[in-house]
Amino acid sequence: MIELKIMDIPEKKVIKLDKKAALARAEHYCAYQERSQQELRDKLYEWGLRSDEVEELISELIQTNFLNEERFTQAYVSGKFSIKHWGKVKIRQGLKLKRVPDKMISNALKAIDYDEYLKTILNLALKKLPAIKETDPYKRKYKLVSYLLGKGFENDLILEVLKANDLP
């Protein structure tokens, strides 16, 4: 049995920065990769800033266009769909965790081409099928549908694609 002592668990470092240094770091943090307001807010609190300073820095970064929630949302949707092959359900869930407004999420999801979306479902299904060792066709289909649901695709679209392509 492994014995853990309280001191073995690393604590999160809280760095205390002044406002000017925090602004410079936040600009670099936002320039490196698109960020949501919530991601930046969490990071600023981690750097030891007070609530009023955090909100002031966020509004300054929005004005200078270092922080743009709409741009972040579009980049997130594009990346998760084209690189990770996530479906709209999983993408929406990820954006909600980052506290992006629903209307902005819906607008960004509209950018996904419907035919490309169906093609992605088909490609993932074709790639997954050989890995499913199940011989019973019902269990095989169940495992395939479960996998695609886990990737965030809608049940009705999954079944439509499978039926149209004579897949289990």
Q: Domain extents for the chain?
A: 19-67, 70-109, 114-164
Which is nearest to 27 in space by CA: 50, 57, 47, 56? 57
The token pair that represents 59 in the structure block: 């509004």
Q: Are 37 and 58 in contact (CB under 8 A)?
A: yes
Rounded to two decimals, the pTM is 0.84
CA contacts within 13 A on the Cβ side of 128: 23
Q: Are 26 and 61 in contact (CB under 8 A)?
A: yes
Distance CA 105, CA 87 (A): 13
pLDDT digit string (tens) for the chain, length 168 residues:
555 555 554 555 656 778 888 899 999 999 999 999 999 999 999 988 889 999 999 999 999 999 999 999 999 999 999 999 999 999 999 999 999 999 999 999 999 999 999 999 999 999 999 999 989 999 999 999 999 999 999 999 999 999 999 887
Q: 19-67, which class in CATH?
A: mainly alpha
